[in-house]
Structure 1
Amino acid sequence: MKKKNIKNKDQDTNWEERVVQVKRVTKVVKGGKKLSFRAILVVGNEKGQIGVGVGKASDVIGAVKKGVADAKKHLISIPLTKSNSIPHTIEGISGAARVIIRPSAIGSGVIAGGSVRTVLELAGIKNILAKQLRSSNTLNNARAVINALANLKTFARTAQERDININHLYSITET
């Protein structure tokens, strides 16, 4: 069911694609070396939907097309606040890469580097602070951001998971 909704939204919204990295990779085979290209792409609509994809092909254009198709298959929706930020601080992990993402004050902009910055900008986040830890691998850092954004929770979702009224979350006091 989720995939049907994504396909319908795909036609209604304007998707922006950005190539994060294109690498020439070689595979050693019996006759010598076989060259191919690997493209890492980020697709987003700047309204809270984002996807990261990888494509491999013998030419760059084919790799980019495959990367776009892969990114659109793995779209996620994220909750954005009124200040175009995220609801709370969160950490994402993918492989050896670890990314910490914190909401920031209005007007501070996107303070992040590399593929993390690209993912956050295409998600529509305007005020955020991010830090890459451990690994400098472009793909793993992009996937770590996606992991973090996928685990974001709103007050409404937290109240639903706990099976309580949302007003009760706001009015919790120590007695």
Structure 2
Amino acid sequence: MARFHKQREEQEREFLEITVKISRVATVVKGGRRFSFNALVVVGDEKGRVGYGFGKAKEVPMAIQKASKEAKRNLIKVPLVEENTVPHTFIGKYCSSKVILIPAHPGTGIVAGPAVRAVMSACGITNILTKSFGSNNPINLVKATFNALENMRSKEEVEKLRGVAIDADTYGIPSQKEEEKVETK
């Protein structure tokens, strides 16, 4: 029994947990209003695995706990390149929210709004440019970001699908070594 608890504690420590949004909501009943809370949580291991969850409960800590449990069940794997960025530009959509993810050079940082920034930092992406259009509802923005990340393909996946080799120049951002070669010529 003690071993099981130890394993669970280690598993919980390996994930970064970010609470994106907490809201108080009310249900109108005959006797008045019943209040409850909902929470949107993003969970990631900072190595390319990330998930999100939405939890509801009468108390805030229970809502966060339910959301993080759901997020750990819905983890996805994101292809990352050496510069800790995404392999290529992609647009994610959910309802009326649209998010564009653009790879960036090392040292750029995460240029994003709070909802998208939470997903990127939980995923382990440190250099990225993003732009969101349409609805700025955090729930929709997180879902649009996940739509983009789920549909990302690594260079190896694209080569396998096409059956041809792809240059690093034509896929994603060029590395600094390649830029130095161009400058010396």
Render the CA deviation track for 1:77-134: whole Å, top value 9, x for unaligned.
0010000001100000111111001001110100011100111011000110001110
Q: Give percent identity, aligned residues only.
A: 40
Alignment partners' CA distance in 1, 2:12 and 2:40? 25
> Secondary structure of 1:93's partner?
strand
- On the 8 A contact 1:49/1:123 being kept in 2, the answer is yes
* 1:2-81 paired onto structure 2 within 5 Å: 11=11, 14-81=14-81
Normalised to the residue count of structure 2, the TM-score between the two structures is 0.81
> Secondary structure of 1:81's partner?
coil
Q: How many residues align?
A: 160
* 1:14-163 paired onto structure 2 within 5 Å: 14-162=14-162
Q: Which amino acid aligns with 1:142?
A: V
Normalised to the residue count of structure 1, the TM-score between the two structures is 0.86
Q: CA deviation at 1:31?
A: 2.3
Identify which range, 92-101 or 26-35, moves more after superposition.
26-35
Identify which range, 10-19 or 109-118, moves more after superposition.
10-19
Render the CA deviation track for 1:13-55: whole Å, top value 9, x for unaligned.
7101011111000011222211000001010110000011100
- On the 8 A contact 1:25/1:35 being kept in 2, the answer is yes
- On the 8 A contact 1:116/1:145 being kept in 2, the answer is yes
User: What residue ranges of structure 1 are gaps of 5+ in the alignment?
Assistant: 1-9, 171-175
Q: Answer with 1 or 2: which has the greater Rg.
A: 2
> Secondary structure of 2:11's partner?
helix
CA RMSD of aligned residues (A): 1.9
User: What residue ranges of structure 2 are gaps of 5+ in the alignment?
Assistant: 1-9, 168-185
